[in-house]
Amino acid sequence: MFTKGINEFMYYVPFLKEIIKRDFKKKYYKSVLGVAWSMLSPLLMMVVITIIFSTLFKREIPYYPSYWLGGNLLFAFAMDGTNSAMNSMVNNASMIKKMKIPNYFFCISGVTQHFITVIFSLVPYFVVSMLIGVPLSWKMLLIFFPIILVYIFTLGLGMFLCAYGTFLRDLNYLYHIVRRVWLYVTPIFYPIDIIPEQFRFLFELNPIYVYISIFRDFALNDTMPSERMIIVATFYSILTLILGITTFREKEDRFFLYI
């Protein structure tokens, strides 16, 4: 069954390319600046956030703009990616109902969309980092490790949400609130140090925090994250993907009646 899945995947690779291209085009349809927005909007937000919070956390956080940008980069990737994947069945109903294509390709495309955005956003991230004097190090290249882990996590969670969201559209509104709460419980604009020591283990239950802290270790602190963190992060990603795939497979046969 595994090789069958691989063969099927390879057969549809040209399709995946086309669909990713299409989604990308659609995203910036009729926009003058187009893809430049994926670099501009985090920068603008960074200015605002820095003005508001850097006075608050001045002592705790060095290189605050990069601290926020990096955290926000991964967080936005996970949130937007899961959201796209969740709605991918409904948005592609016209194709799913008339062509035989493995449904999960639309989830992959939805997540990959935002992965491309992440790649573009890395440009302003490094420009800002250099401007504010973050020391350069070869470890910065390792940031792709947490980014890939976020990709896997996002795909898994997106497929899981899609499996239910296709039947129950309310999940969209509910997830909107969850995302808001998630933002506040993840140390993106505040330092983890403001949390009392005895509660910090709770934050490790939040996969996105684990990814962000690995990212920051590589990109800002010039340190290697602890092995524990790496194992926990990998574990979260793989577990979520397995959960996503199994749920999706179980539900997907009934999708076409609900889209």
Partner 1 sequence: MMIDISREAVEIVNPVINRSLRTDDLDDEEICIDVRNVSVLFNLSKNREDGLKEYFINRIKGKVGYDEFWALRNISLQVHKGDALAFIGRNGSGKSTLLKTIAGIIKPTRGSITVNGTIAPLIEISGGFDRSLSARENIFLVGAMHGHTKKYMKKRFDEIVEFAEIQRFVDVPMKNYSSGMVARLGFALATCVNADIIIADEVLSVGDAKFRMKCEERIQQMLKAGTTILYVSHSAAQVKKICRTAVWLDKGQIIDTGTAAEISDKYMQSLKKE
Judged by the rule CB under 8 A, the positions of this chain that interact with partner 1 are: 11-12, 14-15, 17-19, 22, 25-26, 29, 94-101, 167-171, 174, 253, 256-258
End-to-end CA distance of the chain: 28
Nearer to partner 1 by C-beta: 51 or 99? 99
Residue 222, token pair as written in the block: 């010039």
Angle (nearest 5°) at CA 87 between 81 and 91:
120
Residue 218, token pair as written in the block: 């590589």
- Exposure class string for 41-52: b at 16+ Cβ within 10 A, else e: ebeeebeebbee
Helix, coil or strand: residue 214: helix
Nearer to partner 1 by C-beta: 18 or 60? 18
Nearer to partner 1 by C-beta: 22 or 58? 22
34 φψ region: left (φ > 0), alpha (ψ -120 to 50), beta (else): left
Angle (nearest 5°) at CA 253 between 247 and 259:
100
In the complex, minimum distance from the CB of residue 11 to partner 1, in angstroms, rounded to a whole number = 5
Total Cβ atoms within 10 A of residue 5: 11
In the complex, minimum distance from the CB of residue 131 to partner 1, in angstroms, rounded to a whole number = 39
Nearer to partner 1 by C-beta: 60 or 170? 170
Nearer to partner 1 by C-beta: 96 or 233? 96
In the complex, minimum distance from the CB of residue 220 to partner 1, in angstroms, rounded to a whole number = 41
Q: Backbone phi, then psi, for 103, in 5-degree steps?
A: -60, -35
Residue 192, token pair as written in the block: 């983890």
Nearer to partner 1 by C-beta: 8 or 60? 8
In the complex, minimum distance from the CB of residue 91 to partner 1, in angstroms, rounded to a whole number = 10
Nearer to partner 1 by C-beta: 4 or 100? 100
In the complex, minimum distance from the CB of residue 99 to partner 1, in angstroms, rounded to a whole number = 4
In the complex, minimum distance from the CB of residue 3 to partner 1, in angstroms, rounded to a whole number = 17
What is the distance between the alpha carbons of residues 54 and 33, in angstroms, rounded to a whole number?
Answer: 29
In the complex, minimum distance from the CB of residue 16 to partner 1, in angstroms, rounded to a whole number = 8
Q: Is-contact 105 138, C-beta < 8 A?
A: no
